[in-house]
Each structure stands twice: as C-alpha cells, then as structure tokens.
Structure 1
Amino acid sequence: MSYEFWILLTGSLVGLSCGIVGCFLILRKMSMLADAISHTVLLGLVMAFIVSQSMNGFYMLIGAVIAGLLTTFMVQLLNSGGIQEDAAIGVVFTSLFALGVILISIFAKNVHLDVEHALMGEIAFVPWNTVAVPLLGNIPKSVVMLGSIFIVDIVVIVLLFKELKLTSFDPSMAAAIGIPVLIVHYILMGLVSVTTVSAFDSVGAILVVAMLIAPGATAYLITDRYKVMLLLSGGIGVLDSIIGYYGAKMFDVSISGAMAVAAGLVFLVVWILSPRYGLLSIWLNQKLTHE
C-alpha cells in the first residue's frame, strides 16, 4: 500500500469513529464535553505512564477511559450542585488538562509525550510506525488501533442501540421503563474517551474535537432520522478527511489542521444549503410567507 493510502485510511477511520460517536453527543446537547474529554485524557495518559512506566497502548487506553469518566463524573457532580453545565465543563476541563501538563513537565520530560504532540499530532508520520499483523504483514500501528476501536464502537452501539436512542431523546421515559440511564451515559463517555485516545498519537486533539462535533452537526442539518444521521455522520467524517488531505497537499500545510478546516467548511456549506434547516431555505420560506 502507498504512503498516501495509509494517511487517507487513518484520517477516514478517525472521521468514521469520531463521527458516529459524536452523533450521540450532538443529540444529547453535550458537544462541548467532547472538547473537555479530548483534552483531559492527557491527564489519563500521563498517569498511565507514571503508574506503568510504559507507553504501551493498552495502558494508555485504560488511563484515557478513567480520565474521561472522571471528567464526566466531575461535570455532573458540579452541575447537580447548582453550577451551570458550561461553567462546570470549563472548570473541570481547564483544571484536569493543566494538571496533566504539570505532571508531564515533572515526570515525563524525556518521554515521547508532550502537550504539542497531544494537541496537534502528526498524521504524516503514521505510515512509518508499523506493527506486524498475521496474514496482513506490516501495518501502521495507528491504523490497527483506530480500526480496533472503530469495531468496538460499532459493536457497543449495535448492542445498546435501543438504550442509546431512548436515553438520547427521552431520558425520563428511558428511566421509567427500567433502562439504567446513568450506566448507559458512562458507557458512552467511555467510548468517547477510547475513541479520542486512539486518534491522539496520529492526529491530535484538535482534529478529534472537530470530527466529534462537525460531522454529527452537519448530519443533523440534513436529516431527522436517527439511523440515517449515524450513517451520514460517519460518511461526512470520511469526506472531511479526504478533502482535508488533498487540501493540505495542495497548499503544503498541516494535514490534521486541513482536515479540521475541511470539516468546518463542509458544515458551513450544508448550513447554507440544507433543504430544511439551511440559511437559504429559511430565507426563501420567510420571503414566501411575507408575500
């Protein structure tokens, strides 16, 4: 496989997994929690390194899940205590991220784990860091991890499809019929955490946040159907990655940055042209109503 293929595949896997998981955050009106988790997992990564003294991906995933769940728990704790959700997210996000930065400077100075790397990543190096896979040969490590997490995401979403749907649209009804709303919520936050950290090394937190929010928000403007939104969001995430890669190649800029910009541009186009919720459609309807 070519160098370009592996980069496109990596970006597409990020778009797919983040796009699908991000749909639930959009439906639950928790988009900014994605930003918080994508940054606070840095604390989980450095804590996993301090405990294990290893950069092994398994320990990193465990640390990320713990950090993601801790973020969610602290936000809910503050919110239930009377603090507005946006303020709670802001306090928890900045505090835990700053703690992670401090711990890196103290305990991980000489380790390949730094703030800039966590935020920006470097997808251009993905094809060179390979791992041997039976029957498939040498495959980029990021592709293996992202592919594995994508499969986990799909399996969990399929198994909890009804529960995730009900708790997203009507949590009160879900609780009334016996669905453990809080457990489902923490399972979803766990998915967000592992999906985020699986993309950290290759694309960084900035692109992860963009892919968690922009594809789902774009799909939301196109359809009101739950299943269609999930499929569209994954497809839009892949489209954003492809457009971003060739845009980066054309202008010789950061690949991850270009993919994030592409996600924003695709959202902007759909926001203007969406047949039901687009600015143009709303303007035409208002004009016809006044006439």
Structure 2
Amino acid sequence: MSYDLWILLTGGLVGATCGIVGTFLVLRKMAMVADAISHTVLLGIVGAFLISQTLEGPLMLIGAILVGLLTTFFIQILDSSGVQTDAAIGVVFTALFSVGVILVSLYARNVHLDVDHVLMGDITFIPFKTVEWNGISLGPEAFWLISIVFVIDVILLIVMFKELKITSFDPAMAAALGIPVTVIHYIFMSMVSITTVASFDSVGAILVVAMLIVPPAAAYLLTDKLSNMIVWSASIGVISSTLGYYAAKWLNVSIAGSMASSAGLIFLVVFLFSPRHGMISKYLARRRLTLN
C-alpha cells in the first residue's frame, strides 16, 4: 500500500480506538487521566531502558503499560481517600512524571532518550518502521500494534458493556446489584493505559489526548444513547484523522496537529449546531417559545 494510505489507516485506527475508550472516560468525568498517563509513562520507559540498556524491544511497551496502570492505581487510591479526582490526577501526574525526568537526567543523559523523544511520536514516520515475516513486509509496526489494541478494546467492550454502562452512570447501584465496581474500574483503566501507550509513541501524546477527549465530547452532544455515542465517537475520530491529514498536506503543516485541530473544529460545529444540545439550536428553541 502507499505511504499516504498507511498514515490514513493508522490515524483512523487511533481515532476509532481512542474514541471508543474515551467515551467512558468522558462519562466517568476522568478525561484528563489520559493526559496524565501519556506523561507518566516516561517513568516506565526509563525504567525499561535501565534494565535492558536498549530502546528497542517489548520491554519499552511493557514498562510504559505498567506505569500507566500504576498511575491509575494511585489516582484511585487518592480519590477513594477523599481527595478530589482532578486534584488526585494532578498530584500523581506531576509526581511520577518528575521522577521520570530526574532518572533521564541522572542515567540517560548521553542516550537518545529525552522527553520529546518519548512523548512526541510523529505519524509522518510510521510507514518507515515495518514488520517483516519471511522477508515480506507486512506494513508499519504502529498499524499492527494499534490494530491489536483495537480488537482487544472491542472484545472487552462487548463482553463488559452492561457492567461498564452501569458503573459509569451509577456506581452505587452497580455495587448494590453485586457488580464488582473496583474490578471493572481497573479493567477499564487497563484499556485506557494500553490504548494510550500503544498510540502515543507513534502519533504523539497531543493527538492521543485529543482523540480520547474531543470526539467523545462531540458525540455526547449528538445523542443520549450510549451505543450511539460510542459509534459517533469512533466515527468522529476517523473523520478527524482523515480531514486532518489532507489539510496537513494542503497547508504543509504537522499531521498530528492538523488531525487534533480537525477534531476541535468538528466539536465546535457540533457545539453550535447539534439538534438538541447545540447553542444555536437552543437559542432558536427559546426564541420560538418566546414568540408563541
């Protein structure tokens, strides 16, 4: 396949995967957990490097995922202890990220491992790092990694849809019904960690956070039904990636930045013109009531 198509496919998969997972982040009012994870994983990557002394191999991904899970665990501990969720996210985010920065300064100063290298992947270079089998190129590594994560997320969503739905809207009722709320929470946060880590190294932390938050926020204004919201969120993620890529080619600007900006523009249109919740729609409805 062509260079352009691989970028479009990978960007679309990131948009769809992040949109699906981000739907429940938005409903649970934990959207900024994604931003925290996308930074605290620096600690896991540095730790994996100190163990393996290499920037290649699965240890990088494993280390990042473990610290992503550790981040959600600490946030949950603080939140359940009475600390406000946003404050808990801020404390854990800054603490773990700072430790990662210190370790880079102490033990990886002369290695090509810095904050920009770890956090700011570039979707432009995705087609150049491929997976080969028996000498045959199977396509970009990032594409296959995101594809695997997408399948895992969809399977977990199908299997746990009822539990995720109830615990997102009413955790107290879920507990009364005998649903293991804490277990479901950690399974879901594992999905968030894996999705974030698998995406950001290739397409950049900014794009991943944007796709985890903006499409679900737009979908939230378009429908009151959860299943429709998930579909809308994934669709907006794919559309944002596609429009952003062609806009970036036209304007000769950052592809990831253009994709994130496209998501923001789509949200603005939805915010203004959503049939039920849009600002203009509400204004016209109020005006009709006043005239009547």
Regarding TM over 0.5, the answer is yes
Distance 2:242 2:109 in 1: 35
CA offsets per residue over residues 40-92 of structure 1, 9 Å max, x none? 12222222222333434532332223212221222222223332221221121
After TM superposition, the structure 1 = structure 2 runs for residues 198-213 of structure 1, keeping only pairs within 5 Å, are: 198-213=198-213
Q: Match for 1:235: what amino acid?
A: S
**2:194 — aligned with what?**
194
Distance 1:55 1:178 in 2: 44
Provide the alpha-carbon RMSD of the alignment: 1.8
Higher deviation after alignment, 62-71 or 178-187 = 62-71
Distance 2:120 2:248 in 1: 14
Change (3 A) 1:281 1:135: farther
Higher deviation after alignment, 86-95 or 6-15 = 86-95
After TM superposition, the structure 1 = structure 2 runs for residues 49-128 of structure 1, keeping only pairs within 5 Å, are: 49-56=49-56, 58-128=58-128
**1:180 — aligned with what?**
180
Task: Report deviation, 1:107.
Answer: 2.7
Distance 1:255 1:191 in 2: 26
Helix, strand or coil: the match of 2:32? helix
**2:32 — aligned with what?**
32
Q: Does 1:256 align with 2:256?
A: yes
Instruction: Check conservation: 1:221, 1:271, Cα contact below 8 A.
Output: yes
**1:231 — aligned with what?**
231
Instruction: Check conservation: 1:149, 1:198, Cα contact below 8 A.
Output: yes
Q: Match for 2:69: what amino acid?
A: L
Task: Report deviation, 1:110.
Answer: 4.5
Helix, strand or coil: the match of 1:109? coil
**1:290 — aligned with what?**
290
Distance 1:153 1:52 in 2: 29
**1:215 — aligned with what?**
215
Structure 2 unaligned runs (5+)?
none
Instruction: Check conservation: 2:42, 2:119, Cα contact below 8 A.
Output: no
Helix, strand or coil: the match of 2:131? strand
Task: Report deviation, 1:33.
Answer: 1.4
Moved segments of 4+, more than 4 Å: 133-136
TM-score normalised according to structure 2 size = 0.94
Distance 2:52 2:189 in 1: 24
Helix, strand or coil: the match of 2:55? coil
Instruction: Check conservation: 2:130, 2:137, Cα contact below 8 A.
Output: no
TM-score normalised according to structure 1 size = 0.94
Task: Report deviation, 1:29.
Answer: 1.0
Instruction: Check conservation: 2:273, 2:281, Cα contact below 8 A.
Output: yes
Helix, strand or coil: the match of 2:79? helix
Task: Report deviation, 1:135.
Answer: 11
Distance 2:10 2:57 in 1: 17
Instruction: Check conservation: 1:117, 1:204, Cα contact below 8 A.
Output: no
Instruction: Check conservation: 1:45, 1:64, Cα contact below 8 A.
Output: yes
CA offsets per residue over residues 172-199 of structure 1, 9 Å max, x none? 1111121111111111111111111111
Distance 1:189 1:106 in 2: 31
Higher deviation after alignment, 109-118 or 184-193 = 109-118
